[in-house]
Every structure is written in C-alpha cells, then in structure tokens.
Amino acid sequence: MNIDKSQLNYSWQEIANLTHETQVDIFGWCSCEEQKQFPYDDCPRKCDDCESEITLTLEAYGNGQLMRIDCPKCGVSYDTNLDPIEGEGN
C-alpha cells in the first residue's frame, strides 16, 4: 500500500527538523529549488548557470539576515533577504 507522506500532518517543528533529502522525499520538492533560499543544511548549493558550488555569506540586515550568494566561477552575485518579519506595520 502506498502512503502519500505529503498528506500526513506535520508540525512546523517537524518540518524545521527535516533535511533537504527528507523534504524532497516527502513533498517531492524543496524551496531551495524555486527560490534561492536554503532552509536545510544539506540543500544543494549550485549555481544556476555553471553548476559549480556557490558561496553563501550571511550578513545582519535590519532585524533579519541577508544572504549573499556568489558563484566563484562565473562571478554571479545576488542577495536574498532572510528577514522573517514581513509585511509588518501599515
């Protein structure tokens, strides 16, 4: 019998304790594939353009963090704001 694990109930705590591998196993995808965010330590960190390993740098930014992604090979560099407080105020 085939159990669809993505239909089970997971608490946020359980989801936070997943890894890239278990996340993909359960849900078939990981957010690192769609956004350049790497919620888990074992997310593959590859450059979209040249597939080489990228460098991540975390910097403090406002109340959150800014993640800088650099590809040493093709020189691509961009920022991702990891500020967890979004849409506050107004």
Question: Would you say 67 or 71 has its CB closer to Zn ion?
Answer: 71
| Least distance CB 53 / Zn ion (angstroms) | 9
Conformation bin of residue 39: beta by default, left when phi > 0, alpha when psi is -120 to 50: alpha
Which residues form the interface with Zn ion (CB under 5 A)?
A: 20, 30, 32, 43, 47, 49-50, 71, 73-74
Q: How many CA atoms lie within 13 A of 26 on its CB side?
A: 17
Please name every residue paired with 58 in a beta bridge, in sequence order, or none if there are none.
Answer: 67
Question: Would you say 16 or 87 has its CB closer to Zn ion?
Answer: 16
Question: Would you say 43 or 67 has its CB closer to Zn ion?
Answer: 43
Tokens for 44?
């593959």
